[in-house]
Each structure stands twice: as structure tokens, then as C-alpha cells.
């Protein structure tokens, strides 16, 4: 059966897996989650998620350290990867793949899973790895580049480490980062004076409505003027990058 492709659509996806604790052990996919996103409006068009039962269910922990984590009992009656492989292939093949650290992890695990069942793996029309993208363009303002830290930085809640929740959080983090980069490139004179003196920035407390000083969590030792120029260069190069242009266009709409 021929699979229809959508090369301009973006599919954000995430895998939850077992974590090997011995040399020679493999990762086993326990959950797949994905959302299909319109690149023009960055709105969710469709979604899919499923728990997955590994061939050897004993590799799954009986208990999870997270309140809504994946346990052996949760995947006991879940479909195998082979049962959902056709659905996953249809979601991924021919679309732009997006996710956090997907180049080194999720993309590799997907290819391994399809190889294990003897079927051809889906191929992307492009890849947007938000870990590499934000490391290069946004920096470690949140302390590190973990999704949980980036989400906390923007007040987007706690990462649940469940596939569908995480991909939706990933998209929101990208929207917020794009807006910040847009502001810094648009208002360099106003922002430069403020960010060079973070201890003097005054913010309004939500609790008592009083004006109080608060240090801004930007990295030390950096020049915003230099960073702004770098952002301008990035935006200039974005003329040929449709995915990045769409993020910037969304930033414009947020500021109207």
C-alpha cells in the first residue's frame, strides 16, 4: 500500500523507553506519542499516542519513581511495536521530524525498532532537533538545555515524561524561545541597556503588586550587543529555512 507523504508538515514525536543498566542491554520502546503541526500557523492538526509492550516484559520496572510513570502493569495489555508499526510509519514518513534530542536518541530508536521487525523504517523530509537548535540560538539561559528546565524557565509547568505531553511542551517551548529571539533582534537598544544591568531590572511582584528588583537569568559575561548581532545573522540565514521562518512568523502574531 502506498503511503501518502506530507513533506511540508511537521510531526513532533517522542519516545519513552527503558533505561539500560547493564552493558549490552538495549533500549525498549514503551510509549510513542506524536502531534502533526501546521507549519504556517503552528497549530496541532492531529495527534496519536500508544503504550507499547516490549517482547520481554520483564525489562519494564514493576514500579515507577514518577506518579504517572510507565510500569509493567500499564504495558501488559498494550500492543506490540509490530502491531502499531504501520500507524507510526504513516505518521512519520515523508514529514519533517521535530523533537528534543531526536537526532541522537529518538531517530535511532525508531530505526532500531523497525529493523527488529524486519520492516523499512520511515524517512523524514527534514529534521528539527530543538536541543541543537536552542543550544545554538537560545543558549543556557534556563541553566541547561533539558526540556524540564526550559519549560520551568517559561513557566510552562512540570515535564511529565509521557510522550504526548512532552511533544506538546516541546512545541510551546519553541514558540516562547522564538518570541524572545524576535524581541531581542527587534529592540536591541532598549534591551541592551537592561540586560547589561540585570540587578537593576524592576519587576512587579504578583503577590503584593509591589515593584521589586529581580536578577534576570541570562548567562554571565555575554554581550547582548554581540548576541543581538548573532540573532540578526540567524534571522538573515532563516530566509532559506522554512521551519525557522514559521516560528518567527508565529512570534510576530503573539506580539500583535
* Rounded distance between C-alpha atoms, residue 76 and residue 79, angstroms: 9
Catalytic residue among 28, 161, 176, 250: 161
Do you know the residue count of the chain?
256
Q: Concatenated DSSP letters for 52-76?
A: ---SSGGGS-SS-SSTT---HHHHT
Q: What string of DSSP letters covers the chain? A: -PPP--TT-EEEEEEEE----STT----EEEEEEEEE-TTT--EEEEEEEE---SSGGGS-SS-SSTT---HHHHTTSPPHHHHHHHHHHHHTTSEEEESSIIIIIHHHHHHHHHHTT-PPP--SEEEEHHHHHHHHT-STTSSS-HHHHHHHTT-------HHHHHHHHHHHHHHHHHHHHHHHH-HHHHHHHHTSGGG-EEE-TTT--EEE----PPTT--HHHHHHHHHHHHHHGGG-HHHHHHHHHHHHHT-
250 is catalytic: no
Read off the C-alpha cell for 179. 518570541
Rounded CA separation 140/131 (Å)? 11
The residues annotated with a catalytic role in the active site are 161
Amino acid at each position: 500500500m502506498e503511503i501518502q507523504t506530507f513533506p511540508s508538515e511537521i510531526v513532533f514525536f517522542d519516545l519513552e523507553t527503558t533505561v539500560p543498566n547493564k552493558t549490552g542491554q538495549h533500549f525498549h520502546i514503551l510509549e510513542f506519542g506524536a502531534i502533526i503541526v501546521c507549519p504556517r500557523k503552528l497549530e496541532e492538526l492531529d495527534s496519536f499516542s500508544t503504550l507499547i509492550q516490549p517482547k520481554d516484559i520483564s525489562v519494564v520496572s514493576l514500579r515507577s519513581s514518577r506518579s504517572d510513570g510507565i510500569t509493567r502493569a500499564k504495558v501488559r495489555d498494550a500492543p506490540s511495536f509490530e502491531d502499531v508499526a504501520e500507524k507510526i510509519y504513516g505518521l512519520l514518513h515523508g514529514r519533517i521530524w521535530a523533537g528534543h534530542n531526536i537526532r541522537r536518541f529518538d531517530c535511532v530508536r525508531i530505526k532500531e525498532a523497525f529493523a527488529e521487525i524486519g520492516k523499512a523504517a520511515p524517512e523524514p523530509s527534514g529534521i528539527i532537533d530543538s536541543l541543537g537548535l536552542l543550544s545554538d540560538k537560545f543558549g543556557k539561559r534556563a541553566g541547561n538545555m533539558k526540556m524540564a528546565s526550559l519549560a520551568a524557565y517559561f513557566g510552562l509547568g512540570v515535564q511529565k515524561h509521557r510522550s504526548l505531553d512532552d511533544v506538546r511542551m516541546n512545541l510551546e517551548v519553541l514558540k516562547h524561545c522564538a518570541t524572545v529571539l524576535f524581541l531581542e533582534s527587534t529592540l536591541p537598544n532598549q534591551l541592551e541597556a537592561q540586560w547589561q544591568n540585570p540587578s537593576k531590572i524592576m519587576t512587579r511582584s504578583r503577590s503584593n503588586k509591589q515593584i521589586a528588583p529581580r536578577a534576570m537569568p541570562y548567562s554571565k559575561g555575554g554581550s547582548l550587543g554581540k548576541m543581538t548581532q548573532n540573532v540578526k545573522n540567524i534571522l538573515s540565514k532563516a530566509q532559506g529555512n522554512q521551519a525557522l521562518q514559521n516560528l518567527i512568523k508565529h512570534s510576530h502574531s503573539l506580539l500583535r
